[in-house]
Amino acid sequence: MRANQDIEYESVQISCSYSKRADYLGYRAFGLVAMRITTASASLAVLLSVLAFGETAAGTVSGHVQVEDNKALSNIIVYLESANGTRTGQVHAKRRVSQKGREFAPDRVVLVQGGEVAFVNDEEKEIDHNVFSLSEVRQFDIGLAQRGSVNEVTFPEAGEVKYYCSVHKNMEGVVVVVPTPYFAHVDDSGRFRIENVPPGDWVIKAYVAHHRYVSEPFPVSVSDAPLDGLVVAVVKKKRGK
Ligand SMILES: [Cu+2]
- Taking residues 103-116, what's their average pLDDT? 95
* Residue 238 confidence (pLDDT): 87
Give how far Cα 189 sits from Cα of 38, 66, 118, 194, Å. Answer: 31, 10, 32, 16
* Residue 225 confidence (pLDDT): 83
Mean pLDDT for all residues in the chain: 81
- pLDDT, tens only, 30-69: 444 444 444 444 444 444 444 444 445 789 999 999 999 9
Tell me the CA–centroid distance for residue 61 and ligand 1, in Å. 40
More confident residue, 240 or 163: 163
Tell me the CA–centroid distance for residue 167 and ligand 1, in Å. 5
226 confidence band (pLDDT: 50, 70, 90): confident
3-state secondary structure of 24: helix
Evaluate if residue 7 carries a pLDDT over 50. Answer: no
Evaluate if residue 125 carries a pLDDT over 50. Answer: yes
* Residue 116 confidence (pLDDT): 95
Tell me the CA–centroid distance for residue 176 and ligand 1, in Å. 20
Cis preceding linkage at 106, omega within 30: yes
pTM for this entry: 0.74
Tell me the CA–centroid distance for residue 205 and ligand 1, in Å. 33
Tell me the CA–centroid distance for residue 128 and ligand 1, in Å. 6
Q: Are 92 and 114 in contact (CB under 8 A)?
A: yes
Tell me the CA–centroid distance for residue 150 and ligand 1, in Å. 14
Evaluate if residue 113 carries a pLDDT over 80. Answer: yes
Residue percentage of the chain with pLDDT more than 90: 66
* Residue 124 confidence (pLDDT): 97
> Domains of the chain: which residue ranges?
1-55, 56-89+182-241, 90-179
Query: Hey, which of 5-14, 159-168, 221-230 has the most confident mean pLDDT?
Result: 159-168
Residue percentage of the chain with pLDDT more than 70: 73
Which range is least confidently modeled, 8-22, 93-107, 147-161? 8-22
- Taking residues 119-124, what's their average pLDDT? 98
90-179 shares the fold of 56-89+182-241: yes
* Residue 91 confidence (pLDDT): 66
Evaluate if residue 15 carries a pLDDT over 70. Answer: no
Specify the DSSP element, H or E, that contains 80.
strand 76-82
More confident residue, 151 or 86: 151
Evaluate if residue 154 carries a pLDDT over 90. Answer: yes
Tell me the CA–centroid distance for residue 123 and ligand 1, in Å. 10
Tell me the CA–centroid distance for residue 130 and ligand 1, in Å. 6
Give how far Cα 158 sits from Cα of 31, 36, 137, Å. Answer: 53, 48, 7
How far is 186 from 110, CA to CA, in rounded Å?
A: 13
* Residue 46 confidence (pLDDT): 40
90 confidence band (pLDDT: 50, 70, 90): low
CATH class of 56-89+182-241: mainly beta
- pLDDT, tens only, 18-30: 333 333 333 334 4
CATH class of 90-179: mainly beta
